[in-house]
Chain A
Amino acid sequence: MKRVLSVFLGILTAIGGFVDIGDLVANALVGSRFGLSLAWATLIGVVGICVFAEMSGRVAAVTGRGTFDLIRERLGPRVGLLNLTASLLVTLLTFTAEVGGVALALELATSVNYLLFVPVVGLAVWLVIWRVKFSTLEDVFGLLGLALIVFGVALWQLNPSWGDLLHQIAVPQKPADEDVATYFYYAIALFGAAMTPYEVFFFSSGGVEEHWRTKDIGTARANVFIGFPLGGLLSLAIAGCAAVVLLPDGIQVDTLGQVGLPVAVALGKLALAVAILGFVAATFGAAIETGLSTGYATAQYFGWQWGKYVRPRQAARFHTVVLLAVIAAVAGVLTTADPIKVTEYSIVFSAVALPLTYFPILVVANDPVYMGRHVNGKLANGLGSVFLVVIGIAAVAAIPLMLITAAGQ
């Protein structure tokens, strides 16, 4: 019984923890401009993250080591360093976006200017990373993130033409008033939002933090294969709400407030408060994950002791990197750059960095020396290879499309 409950908790945490500021912004923005005609990109992205998260979780359970540790071993210090640099830059940018997201959500709750919250948010993120046990922070923010289910309820309440919505998903058609380049630019943005690099290091390092062994592979798989797709469904609900409420009025999402507007229209004040709670939980949780990921990646490359499973003074360099990352993220938001724009750039650059971060995972998960009999089967390899091609194309097309469409204008 206890085991069933723990698996259930893990799945719920995975659902609630799936959405971050990138998913919130990208899905609402796309819904408000393209309806559900780009839902296929979110769906493909969800499948992609499932495939690679499962691999990296399995690697952690079997080897007891984190992804970066093994990337350097398998591919050498040069490729490892390239990987580390690219991943760190993108993760730092994402961290900045998440901290900005928390501040924006708090502004919506209080109408106090978001910049005033930023140092407090930074301190809170660091404090939680410093003191709170790993499993506690996963559980708390994952469960609180379930508040975003309110978007599903709102969509239900809005009573749209479900047949029409399903048709938009199944038979995607670019809207007449948007051009092809913009359409595919946002498809890439949705990939980047669903398949963020940090998610994979975090998941594998988290597996080591929680001392997964091979017997935990089943639980990890349940989290990934049930939790992530349901989380993806939340993303689609956010897009759906925007499509039903904002698109007909010509409202294009460029603020966090507009993301929540459909919930107010459909369900009212209380539901809107729940949505804000969901925003805070999702972005704060993701801020913790990205902050920790900067530490994980750096420490694992250089062989330093890392992790929250040891006392902070036993992983001094790891905690210092995290502290520096928090300071950098806070500074980044305090430049008063629009956090929504920062978010958009972070997901596009995530898409660019994806092949560099995902390819080594496929290599390691395929290596029988590390994985023994838990090495990738045909399905994992097949899907993994297909996805590498897809994200390769997306990575190459991302920057040119960004320039051509002036970042989606």
Chain B
Amino acid sequence: MEPTDRKYTKGHEWAKLDEGLAVVGITNYAQEQLGDIVYVELPQLGDALETSHAFGLIESVKAASDLFAPVSGEVVAINEDLVDRPELVNEDPYEGGWMVKVQPEDEGEIEVLMTAEEYAAYLQTLE
């Protein structure tokens, strides 16, 4: 079961509200599908994220996927550790592998995402 303190998208991103900021990362399922992650490209501080638009890129040896924003808002922090240790996304997708912190324009955008339970059910539908 995924952590219940956050919400999930069908694109396998998660968003968690933490002291007014939205912390964003990818799910355990996503990192398993990608395999060993070798590179994470993140936006710059101050960039504006737009819901459902690509904000970054994640690469394994044989694949690359866009990262889609679960929420709109300004980037106020990025996880610098991923520059040297992209494997953190594999090892600890929900804590050490977080990607960006966003000042959300509308927290309601997160509210409407899937709960951990709904996301688990959604994963079931993917075989």
> A and B: real partners?
no
| Chain A contacts to B: CB under 8 angstroms | none
